[in-house]
């Protein structure tokens, strides 16, 4: 449950954790008619995060370029990160055998979680940097 | 002075974080207002309250702290009552409703799951599954990148394939994870992820949802997940399972 504890504390996770739940804090949750709600002027940041592919000439050219550069020999399954996860899972699974099958399996799963989480973070961060740095600026204002 | 409200819990909630630092600068202390057998977590409301990062975090932290020890109905950020008495009467007026919700959400937490495509990986997938894309890429490469029109033609084909993949993967994620949750709430599509779903799960069995996400991640390397939880059940405070919060 690495995911759970890190996220729950919130403060340590800081901005990225907050950004990920921003729309929940601002758009969901209980509303009581008798209470006033603070004006949300200045948080259009909710809507500008368009990362889903949009059809436009710019996108066409960018994707054509990306296809040109793509190394056709290495398939999608060879994307970085995955082999290490599998490797680690097997390794700790083997370690588990000396301890008894059950605890070994439990450890394997929890290690796979935390490993995958770390992988996910380090993998996805660079891609998001552009978008999130502008976001952060807006949040700080 | 007006009163800022964080959330509503049963008056018997064992670990309401009274005295914790809430919103405002300097931080205002969290306290409770009771009524109708319920307790509202509140603090004074700062002057000129705006959705600043610090205050959003404080709101979230107070709820996370309270949610750790028992069920709490989270308020949307920025709810301000005229004074403590107004909070108490709101609790009394709708006590039955809030109790029902607290009961329904007992031991339940929200996990928010966002998925997006890893661009290189999804291009690989599209290329592998679409002979036209492959052929066009090869021919463009053969002619040193191709003409402007060639590039547009390839790009358009790829974008269509990727968009189809977005829809397909969004359905895959939902169909795979839904059986592990009591309820699902989808965020509006405009928010920029191929899918953005909140799942209501029993705290004790949340590992199942996390395990299913992990399996998806491993089986589909072109999917990148952002998982946040356990969170207070923001998306499930209103009755009606699976119903998204009204706009």
How many Å separate Cα B81 from the centre of its chain? Answer: 26
A7-28 confidence digits (pLDDT tens): 333 333 334 567 778 888 888 8
* B13 and B70 share one domain: yes
Overall domain count for chain B: 2
pLDDT tens across the length of chain B (247 residues):
799 999 999 999 988 999 999 999 899 999 999 999 999 999 999 988 888 888 999 999 999 999 888 899 999 999 999 999 999 999 999 999 999 999 999 999 999 999 999 989 999 999 999 999 999 999 988 888 789 999 999 999 999 999 999 999 999 999 999 999 999 998 765 557 899 999 999 999 999 999 999 999 999 999 999 999 999 999 999 864 434 444 4
* B47 and B123 housed in the same domain: no
Judgement on whether residues B91 and B127 belong to the same structural domain of the protein: no
Which range has the worst mean pLDDT, A15-24, A104-113, A121-130, B152-161? A104-113
A133: helix, coil or strand? helix
Whether residues B231 and B126 share a domain: the answer is yes
pTM (whole model) above 0.80: no
Range of the domain at B198: 109-236
User: Number of residue pairs across A and B with CB atoms under 8 Å?
Assistant: 241
- Shared domain for B116 and B230, answered yes or no, is yes
Contact B226 A43 (CB under 8 A): no
Residues B209 and B128 in one domain: yes
Q: What is the pLDDT of residue B69?
A: 85
Both B7 and B63 in a single domain?
A: yes
Cα B161 to Cα B118, B135, B154, B186, B207, distances in angstroms: 14, 14, 11, 24, 34
Q: Would you list the domain boundaries of chain A?
A: 8-136
Q: Does B244 map to a domain?
A: no
Asked which of B106, B121, B150 is the last residue of a domain, the reply is B106
Residues B89 and B137 in one domain: no
More confident position, B171 or A84? B171
- ipTM value, please give it: 0.80
Q: Is residue B241 part of a domain?
A: no
In a domain, B198, yes or no: yes
Other C-beta atoms within 10 Å of B106: how many? 12
Q: Does the CB of A118 have a partner CB in chain B at under 8 Å?
A: no
Most A CBs within 10 A among B55, B84, B191, B197, hence the mutation to make, goes to: B191
Partners of residue A68 in chain B, C-beta under 8 Å? 137, 140-141, 145
Given B74, B106, B138, which residue is the final one in a domain? B106
pLDDT at B214: 97
What average pLDDT does range A64-79 have in this prediction?
67
CATH number at residue B201: 3.30.70
Task: Name B31's bridge partners.
Answer: B42
Q: Which of B73, B106, B139 is where one domain is finished? A: B106
Q: Which of B204, B49, B196, B81 is nearest to A28 (CA)?
A: B196
């Amino acid at each position: 449950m690495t995911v759970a504890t890190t996220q729950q504390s919130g403060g340590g996770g800081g901005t990225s954790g907050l950004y990920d739940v921003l729309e929940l804090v601002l758009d969901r949750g209980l509303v009581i008619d008798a209470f006033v709600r603070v004006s949300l002027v200045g948080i259009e940041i909710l809507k500008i995060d368009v990362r889903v592919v949009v059809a436009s000439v710019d996108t066409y050219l960018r994707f054509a370029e990306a296809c040109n550069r793509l190394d056709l020999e290495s398939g999608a399954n060879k994307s970085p990160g995955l082999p290490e996860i599998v490797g680690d899972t097997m390794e700790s699974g083997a370690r588990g055998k000396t301890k008894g099958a059950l605890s070994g399996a439990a450890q394997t799963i929890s290690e796979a979680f935390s490993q995958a989480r770390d992988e996910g973070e380090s993998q996805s961060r660079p891609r998001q940097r552009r978008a999130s740095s502008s976001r952060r600026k807006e949040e700080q204002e | 002075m007006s009163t800022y409200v964080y959330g509503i819990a049963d008056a018997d909630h064992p670990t309401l974080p009274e005295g914790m630092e809430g919103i405002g600068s300097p931080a205002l202390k969290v306290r409770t207002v009771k009524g109708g057998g319920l307790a509202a977590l509140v603090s004074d409301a700062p002057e000129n309250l705006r959705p600043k990062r610090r205050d959003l975090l404080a709101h979230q932290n107070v709820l996370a702290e309270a949610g750790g020890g028992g069920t709490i109905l989270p308020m949307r950020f920025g709810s301000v009552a005229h004074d403590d008495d107004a909070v108490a009467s709101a609790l009394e007026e709708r006590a039955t409703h809030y109790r029902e919700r607290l009961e329904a959400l007992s031991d339940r937490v929200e996990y928010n799951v966002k998925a997006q495509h890893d661009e290189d990986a999804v291009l690989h997938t599209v290329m592998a599954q679409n002979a036209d894309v492959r052929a066009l890429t090869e021919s463009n490469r053969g002619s040193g990148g191709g003409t402007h029109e060639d590039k547009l033609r390839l790009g358009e084909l790829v974008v269509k394939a990727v968009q189809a993949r977005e829809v397909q993967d969004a359905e895959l994620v939902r169909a795979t994870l839904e059986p592990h949750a009591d309820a699902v709430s989808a965020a509006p599509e405009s928010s920029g992820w191929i899918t953005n779903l909140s799942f209501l799960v029993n705290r004790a069995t949340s590992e199942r949802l996390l395990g299913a996400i992990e399996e998806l991640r491993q089986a589909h390397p072109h999917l990148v997940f952002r998982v946040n939880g356990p969170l207070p059940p923001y998306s499930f405070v209103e009755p009606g399972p699976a119903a998204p919060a009204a706009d």
